[in-house]
Amino acid sequence: MRKDKAFKIILLLSGFLIVALLSGIFLSLVFSSIPSIKEFGINFLFSKDWDPVNNKFGALPFLIGTLLTSVISLLISIPFSLSISIFLSEILKNKLISNIFQTFVELIAGIPSVIVGLWGLFILAPFMRTLQLKLGIQPIGVGIFTASIILSIMIIPYSASIGKEVISMVPTEVKEGAISLGATEFETLKSVTLPFSFNGIFAGFLLSFGRAFGETMAVTMVIGNSNKIPDSIFSPGQTMASLIANEFTEATTKLYTSSLIEIGLILFIVSMLINILGRLIIRRFKF
Amino acid sequence: MNEKTINRRIFNNKLYKIFVSSFSFLSIIPLFLIIYFVLIRGIKYINLKFIFSMPKPMGELGGGIFNAIVGSFIIVGVAALIAIPIGIMVGIFLSEYKEKKFTEIVKIFVDTLQGIPSIVIGIIAYLWIVKPLKQFSALSGSIALSFIMLPLVIKSTEEVLNLVPVDIKEAAYALGAPYHRIVLKILLPSGSVGILTGTLIGISRILGETAPLLFTAFGNQFLNLNLLKPMSTIPYLIYVYATSPYKDWHNQAFAASTILIIIVLSINLLGRFIEKKWKT
């Protein structure tokens, strides 16, 4: 009996460990950001000067870079991931083929991000350069848009698999009702299935947006690493994550490191909010 | 309803199917493009010498990636040793204490942990381990990676334990078995396949992680087996070589990527294969 009690306590403690771990992460980030927060306050978010030499730090270019890449990549990914969700749950009736296709989709998410970045740097970027030459844009190859394409490839599996799951949960009777009234498959999808699963699909997009927001290696390798505010979607830029990856080991002063950690704190808070919101929507959907 | 509208509706329905199928197929093309280009550029540089020899100093041609291969296995191995037991315990907790409010909170925290960008995990391992010890170390890299692997082990443990029939548990209770023995000797073994899946998927995930290692395990030109010293890993080496100005290093980055992608995708597929087996 004493062993039983000890075992139960260990189980409870393991639960507490997770809570402590996450709280510890949050507190550490806040604590280490204090020098930067004290020095720049709210201006940190609105200043575009990132000047390590003069110890002046503002995160605006990276906030813009992160928002641009993640929004563009989300927009690119939507038609593809929605198609996959519908394709897997409504069109492909053969279980085996559907399984194989889904495995391919999920394998994309399994490729290490540094390898996607390598591919982006040596194959996609030169391709973009020739494309930009033809379009008459300054041919740099790397930049915000190239990073967005890479990101969209990486996030499609996430929203696609969540979308597939929620679309499969639409009750068959509801769909059959529409079909028995003479609706085509397309009309059933448009007026019954999609409205029914809209919240879940939206949550899938939200979670994949969160992925794009914090993705580091692949973006770092193809975004061009320029600390200025990008003046077009083809110009080089920097995201919050790529900035930390590039400069953290070079940060020599306390304020410099602290500013980078504050950017990490922003990443943490945003991704936490997106995750909680997304999971809440999905969970409500399931009941 | 006249024939014209019906024809148009049928046409629209066809159009929708073509649209959805072609967009679906288009989206898996990058998978093959990436694998194809990495293999085609990398495979010709892979030989026993590349795998078993050490890197040459910067700018010199040739050399291998032995230190990075050894480093990856050590760092990922230690990370797995940390993440698996803790992950299993938390997974048991989540499936055994379903009714508690606290369990819901832990669940949300596990989801949140999974959503933290890996670069932020790197910062944390830097603040907690590298800074107090005043040097980059393999151990700090392992700890960072274990934070990333933890949610995957927790979730698959919880999921598989929820599938274990209650009858088995009740039968054990009826025989008078104490609680901890029921969990450890009956529930866990019947869920072992699911836990194995989570472990394999988790290992394949952290084998390719680079961002959390940038300022924890850092890198090392030499073979190092000491956990408290910097250590090289395959993904870190790929990043450094790919962003260097040397053509020879670019080729080596592709060769290392070929090795990494084959290992990672094989483990990943193995995990999925086992999962499909027990879920059906």
pLDDT band at A285 (very low <50, low <70, confident <90, very high): low
At A176-194, the pLDDT tens digits run 999 999 899 999 999 999 9
Choose the closest CB to A115 out of B9, B34, B179: B34
Q: Is the dihedral of CA A253, A259, A264, A268 positive or negative?
A: positive
Q: What pLDDT shows up at residue B60?
A: 78
Touching check for B124 and chain A: CB below 8 Å?
yes
Cβ–Cβ pairs < 8 A, chains A and B: 246
Touching check for B115 and chain A: CB below 8 Å?
yes
Residue B57, min C-alpha distance to chain A (Å) = 21
The reply to whether residue A28 touches residue B128, judged by beta carbons under 8 angstroms, is yes
Touching check for B40 and chain A: CB below 8 Å?
no
Touching check for B270 and chain A: CB below 8 Å?
no
The reply to whether residue A279 touches residue B108, judged by beta carbons under 8 angstroms, is yes
* Lowest-confidence region among A25-39, A54-68, B109-123, B177-191: B177-191
The reply to whether residue B27 touches residue A249, judged by beta carbons under 8 angstroms, is no
Choose the closest CB to B24 out of A84, A106, A112: A84
In B206-225, the residues whose Cβ lies within 8 Å of chain A are 207-211, 214-215, 218
Query: Can you tell me the distance from the alpha carbon of A144 to that of A65, in angstroms, rounded to the nearest whole number?
Result: 7
The reply to whether residue A244 touches residue B123, judged by beta carbons under 8 angstroms, is yes
Chain B residues whose CB is inside 8 A of the A21 CB are: 109, 113, 147
At B262-280, the pLDDT tens digits run 999 999 999 999 988 877 6
A61-286 adopts what CATH topology?
Answer: MetI-like fold (1.10.3720)
Q: What is the DSSP string of chain A?
A: -HHHHHHHHHHHHHHHHHHHHHHHHHHHHHHHHHHHHHHHGGGGGT---EEGGGTEE--HHHHHHHHHHHHHHHHHHHHHHHHHHHIIIII---HHHHHHHHHHHHHHHHS-HHHHHHHIIIIIHHHHHHHHHHHTS-----SHHHHHHHHHHHHHHHHHHHHHHHHHTS-HHHHHHHHHTT--HHHHIIIIIHHHHHHHHHHHHHHHHHHHHH--HHHHHHS----SPPSSTTS----HHHHHHHHGGG--SHHHHHHHHHHHHHHHHHHHHHHHHHHHHHHHHH-
Chain A nearest-CA residue for B101: A15
When scoring B123, B243, B244, B250 by the number of chain A Cβ atoms within 10 A, the one with the most, hence best to mutate, is B123
Q: Where are the domains of chain A?
A: 61-286
Residues A106/B272, Cβ–Cβ less than 8 Å: yes
Cα–Cα separations (whole angstroms), residue A233 to A12, A67, A284: 50, 12, 37
Give mean pLDDT, residues A225-241. Answer: 93
Give mean pLDDT, residues A231-237. Answer: 92
Choose the closest CB to B117 out of A10, A32, A271: A271
Choose the closest CB to A123 out of B37, B119, B215: B37
Task: Given the cut 0.90, state whether the ipTM is greater than it.
Answer: yes
> Is the pLDDT reported for residue A254 higher than 70?
yes
pLDDT band at A286 (very low <50, low <70, confident <90, very high): low
Q: What pLDDT shows up at residue B98?
A: 87
Phi, psi of A183 (to 5 degrees): -75, 145
Residue A229, min C-alpha distance to chain B (Å) = 22
Phi, psi of A126 (to 5 degrees): -60, -35
> Is the pLDDT reported for residue A252 higher than 90?
no
B48-279 adopts what CATH topology?
Answer: MetI-like fold (1.10.3720)
Q: What pLDDT shows up at residue B197?
A: 92
Express as a percent the part of chain A with pLDDT over 90.
87
**Residues A220-232: b if buried by 16+ CB within 10 A, e if exposed:** bbbbbbbbebbee
Q: How many CA atoms lie within 13 A of B103 on its CB side?
A: 14
Whole-number average pLDDT of chain A: 93
Cα–Cα separations (whole angstroms), residue B36 to A101, A257, B47, B81: 18, 40, 19, 34
The reply to whether residue B127 touches residue A28, judged by beta carbons under 8 angstroms, is yes
Touching check for B117 and chain A: CB below 8 Å?
yes
Choose the closest CB to B20 out of A11, A22, A86: A86
- Token digits for B42? 């990398």
pTM here? 0.94
Query: Can you tell me the distance from the alpha carbon of B74 to that of B80, in angstroms, rounded to the nearest whole number?
Result: 10
Query: Can you tell me the distance from the alpha carbon of B205 to that of B1, in angstroms, rounded to the nearest whole number?
Result: 56
Q: What pLDDT shows up at residue A287?
A: 47
> Is the pLDDT reported for residue A9 higher than 80?
yes
Q: What pLDDT shows up at residue B227?
A: 93
Choose the closest CB to A15 out of B19, B93, B114: B93
Residues A251/A232, Cβ–Cβ less than 8 Å: no
Q: Where are the domains of chain B?
A: 3-45, 48-279
Q: Which residues of chain B have pLDDT under 50?
A: none
What spatial distance separates the first Cα and last Cα of chain A, rounded to whole Å?
A: 38
Residue B253, min C-alpha distance to chain A (Å) = 8
Query: Can you tell me the distance from the alpha carbon of B153 to that of B200, in angstroms, rounded to the nearest whole number?
Result: 9
Choose the closest CB to A272 out of B115, B208, B253: B115
At A122-179, the pLDDT tens digits run 999 999 999 999 998 888 899 999 999 999 999 999 999 999 999 999 998 999 999 9
Enumerate residues 6+ apart whose C-beta is below 8 A from B180. Answer: A3, A4, A6, A7
Chain B residues whose CB is inside 8 A of the A116 CB are: 34
